[in-house]
Every structure is written in structure tokens, then in C-alpha cells.
Structure 1
Amino acid sequence: MSSDPASSGSSTTSPSGTADYPTAEAAPGAAMPQVRDAFAVLQATYNDGCTTPGNCEYFLTRVLTNLDDLYNSMKASPKGSGHFAGPLAWIRTMQDTLRGDFSFPNLKRHQKLLLGTRDKVNTWMQSHPDDYR
């Protein structure tokens, strides 16, 4: 773990044992998920939450990881980053605010930001002409 997660190039270990962005590494040789597929995984977080005892850490880490995966899929999309400018900016702002600290106390502190980012991305994707529903 880094003593200063805000410093450039440093990282803090997440609850799942990964460090820095992305929060989850793809399997070697695995294809980048399509934006539609990464979005579907993110939408599944609407069926979960911090209301179940002992589930909040898993849930918040899952939302973060799913947003990171969607971010990477959007960046790799043949449509180009400009096509997803809004969602990419919102996710990047969330990532910058977390400053590489994926600890449960930090995720809990930023729960409103995590869920708000998820909700803004969801609204954009559902109302977008390409229909990502």
C-alpha cells in the first residue's frame, strides 16, 4: 500500500486485493467487453445495495469495478471516446475523487458519488439514440 494515494503513480489496495485503476484485471488474452455488455453488468447493481447486513463493502466495490470496466469498454469502443464524452468524464471525476483509495471506509464515504455516477451513466445510456438498454 502507498502512504500517499494521491501521489502520481501510487495506489492503495482495494478490498478485492487489486490496486489502482482498473480495479479488476482482465484475464490474459480476454477480449474487452462490448459497451453494451459492460453496461448490462453495471445495471445488475440496481438489484443490490447496502441494505443487506454485511453486503455493503461487496456492493460498493462491485459498483466501482463495474464503472471502471464500462469506462475501459467505452475508451476501447470503435465509436471513439468522443461518443461517450459525458459518461467518461463522470466516471473519471469519480475515479479522481477516490484518489486510488478503494478501502471500504473511503468507498462508504463516497457512496453517494459512486451511486450518483452509476445513475447518471444509466440515464445517459438509456436515453442515448444507440439504445444500450
Structure 2
Amino acid sequence: MFTSSMRGAALAAVALAALSVSCSTAPSTDRPRADATTVATVPTSAADAADAAAEADASAGVTPPPTAPDVAPPERVRDAFAGLQATLNDSCTPDNCAYFLGRVHDELHRLDRAMKADPKGAGHFTRPIELIAKLDAELAGDRSFENLKRHQTLLIGTRDRINTWMQGHPDDYR
């Protein structure tokens, strides 16, 4: 059984929901009108009211403002380097060779992007960036497993040389 305060709260929620829906959509002559077969639903909670308002905005062609920036901030060198280091204890076994080589390639390029975006500037990371550019020239844009396998020695060697260089620059990853 509803008490008068529960009925009042429910009535207030319905009124607010109706008001938010009616205020969020302006009348438009190019929007189809509801016909007799359209069933109106009454929101029963604030979340339902927000959903109803978003649906009304969407049907009116209103796009909500983005909630996150379109471009993610550049990754930090230390985080990208940690990803590359995570490949050091793995190897190209029959069960995971394609995954492993692809991951080493991806982690090298993740680190390359982070170094180029670092506030210290790409000039600080000249050697690692050169090593990755040399690898890319050899791979010639072919990231297929067959090509990575063919260049496995260069791929792993690039990873290891960059790891050695980074070990000599601890201020870049700590």
C-alpha cells in the first residue's frame, strides 16, 4: 500500500521526468508526429527519466557533447617501456610465436609513439627511434606473421638494443 509521501514522491518523479523530456526537445516540423499506435511510457526513476530524455534528443537529431576527448593523451615512456619489458621473458614457441612476435612489434611501436610525444622531445630518444625506423624499413609495412618470423632476429635484436639503451637512461622510465 502506498503512503501519501510515497505517492507524492512518485508523482514528483513523473512530473520532473515529463518536464525534462518536454524541455529537451523543441517542436520541429520535419520530425514525424506520434500516431495512435505510439505508446508513451512514463519514467519511474531518475535513470529512466535520463534515458527518456536521451532518447528524445536522439530522435530530434541532437547529439550529446562528448564525455571524453577524441584523442587520448600520449602514453608515458615508462608505461610503454614496461610493456616492452614484459616481452623479455617470453619467446617464440610453437604455441604462441605469432602472438609473441606481433606483441614485440606492437610494444616497440607503442614505445616509439610515446618517445616522440614525450616532453623531452624525440631528440632525446634518437637512438631507439632510429632502431625502430630501421626495423620498419626492413619490414616494409608488412606486419604479417610470415614477415615478422622472417625478420625475427632483427625484431628481437631491436627490442634488446632498446632495452639496453633504456637501462642506461633510468630517469626515462622511473
Same fold (TM over 0.5): yes
Of 87, 91, 97, the residue aligned with 1:45 is 87
Structure 1 letter corresponding to 2:71: G
Counterpart of 2:169 in structure 1 is 128
Q: What is the TM-score when the length of structure 2 is the normalising length?
A: 0.58
Matches within 5 A, 1:41-80: 41-51=83-93, 53-80=94-121
Contiguous gaps of at least 5 residues in structure 2:
1-69
Provide the alpha-carbon RMSD of the alignment: 1.3
Q: Distance in 2 between matches of 1:31 and 1:99?
A: 28
Aligned: 1:108 with 2:149: yes
Counterpart of 1:31 in structure 2 is 73
Structure showing greater relative contact order (alpha-carbon pairs closer than 8 Å, 6 or more residues apart): 1
Q: Distance in 2 between matches of 1:62 and 1:73?
A: 16
Per-residue displacement from partner, 1:38-61 (whole Å, max 9, x unpaired)?
Answer: 00000000121112x220000000
In the comparison of the two structures, how many residue pairs are matched? 105
Query: Following TM superposition, where does structure 1 have runs of at least 4 consecutive aligned residues deviating by more than 2 angstroms?
Result: 28-31
Structure 1 letter corresponding to 2:85: Q
> More helix by proportion, 1 or 2?
2
2:73 is paired with a residue of what secondary structure? Answer: coil
Q: Distance in 2 between matches of 1:69 and 1:99?
A: 18
2:80 is paired with a residue of what secondary structure? Answer: helix
Deviation at 1:88, TM superposition (A): 0.4
Structure 1 letter corresponding to 2:84: L
Aligned: 1:97 with 2:97: no
Structure 2 letter corresponding to 1:123: T
Percent of paired sites with the same residue: 61
Structure 2 letter corresponding to 1:92: A
Counterpart of 2:47 in structure 1 is none
Contiguous gaps of at least 5 residues in structure 1:
1-27
